[in-house]
Amino acid sequence: MKIVLEHLTKRFPNRNKKIKEDVVAVNDFNFEIPDGKLIGLLGPSGCGKSTALNLICGLEQPTEGKIFFGDTDVTKLPPENRGVGLVFQNYALYPHLTVRENIRFPLENLRGKDKLSKEVMEEKVLEAAKLVQIQELLDRRPSEMSGGQQQRVAIARALVKRPQVLLLDEPLSNLDARLRLQTREELKRIQLETGITTVFVTHDQEEAMSISDTIVVMKSGVLQQMGEPQEIYDEPVNLFVAKFLGTPQINVFEGKIKDGNVFIGNSPVMSAENYNNSEKEVYVAVRPEGFIVDENGPLSCGFINREVMGRDTSVIATNSAFIGENIRAIIPSEEEIHPVNNTVKFSLKPFKVRIFDKVTEERILL
């Protein structure tokens, strides 16, 4: 089932009653989620991504705009009639019921012609449990399980009615690092196996990048960019998106474009042939993997330290034009660094360098 959002807007009255202006949690969303895809809604906390999710599932009513599931307008439908499954951030498993009873709960609500027999229910519960691999835990209570297991139960409960759309609110944020890695693979597997259109909300860019078919990046209620993970990483439309994706963060320098060259400070680091005449103040953003240690390189930085990761090495350095604390460059571990007078020189890989307007912070294409 594809999901279409049309001019979707949600405003909340301001908490501070002296300020008349509403808080816009979701501002004019227009996009289409294709059928059977896994979509990551990504943004920092408070950017409105959970509100967007609540709008899609119907727990909140939009101020303006429409939501379509397939060709059906569901904007006015209450959540129970939308055919969505929702997994809550802290799972919302009923603590007094066993896993089996929890998963069966949505089925028991079916009335009239949809009413299921006990046998069919049990079958469906087992099927859902098998999908998330918790068959042997069916008689436990939620409190007797680990966070990861509870998460699976929550997914099974959301899936047991075969919803058209599966929504997950920060599905991995309550898990420890190792479980998170495992569970996100699991999520991807379940989504592929069921083929249900899935939207999940996260503030963790790595999580979004690793499993999403498409990422939607949000900031203060405004959609910044939508696209495939690699595309968003490589071609961010503005500085915010560039900074939000990737760890370590992209390195941002003050710079300018002048005489057909891009400058960091006073060093020309790469050419910009289309900008021969104009001079422009810009931000030059370099991905950590965009640095090459080069004795004759144009970018000269103060060497601070190196961190050996095994697979590769982080070089920590400074430069007067750098914004923030320290430059982090990642170089292959076999490359050696010989700082001369505590100075290390880099040249840059042009396709890892992105230029942004200093005022609007929008991307400037060279």
Partner 1 sequence: MKKNLTAWLCLLPAIAFLGVFMVYPLIDVLVYSFEEGYNFASQSFWETGFYNYSYVLHDPYFIQALKNTFIIVIITVPLSTGIALLISLELSSVKVLRDFFQTVYFLPYVTNTLAVGLVFMILFKKTAYSDGLVSLLIQLFGGPSVDFIDGPYWAKMFVMCFYTIWIVMPFKILILTSALASVNPMYYKAAQIDATPKWRIFYKITLPMISPMVFYLVITGFIGAFKAYSDEVALFGTDLNAAGMNTIVGYVYDMLYGNSGGYPSYASAAALLLFAIVFTITTINLMVSKKTVYYQ
Distant-in-sequence, close-in-space partners of 54: CB < 8 Å, separation ≥ 6: 60
In the bound state with partner 1, the residue whose beta carbon lies nearer, of 30 and 90, is: 90
In the bound state with partner 1, the residue whose beta carbon lies nearer, of 79 and 339, is: 79
Closest CA to 198 of 48, 41, 37, 84: 37
As a whole number of Å, the CA-based R_g of the chain is 25
Q: Residue 130 Cβ, how far from partner 1 at the closest point, in Å? A: 20
In the bound state with partner 1, the residue whose beta carbon lies nearer, of 68 and 88, is: 88
In the bound state with partner 1, the residue whose beta carbon lies nearer, of 40 and 58, is: 58
Closest CA to 304 of 337, 263, 259: 337
Q: Residue 221 Cβ, how far from partner 1 at the closest point, in Å? A: 22
Q: Residue 144 Cβ, how far from partner 1 at the closest point, in Å? A: 13
Q: Which helix (H) or strand (E) holds 304?
A: strand 299-308
Cα 366 to Cα 351: distance, rounded to the nearest angstrom: 11
Category of 95 on φ-ψ map: left (φ > 0), alpha (ψ -120 to 50) or beta? alpha
Q: Which residues bind partner 1 (CB under 8 A)?
A: 57-59, 78-81, 84-86, 88, 90, 92, 94-97, 105-106, 108-111, 143, 157, 161
By residue count, the chain amounts to 366
Q: Residue 50 Cβ, how far from partner 1 at the closest point, in Å? A: 12
In the bound state with partner 1, the residue whose beta carbon lies nearer, of 106 and 229, is: 106
Alpha carbon 232 to its chain's center = 11
Q: Residue 223 Cβ, how far from partner 1 at the closest point, in Å? A: 25
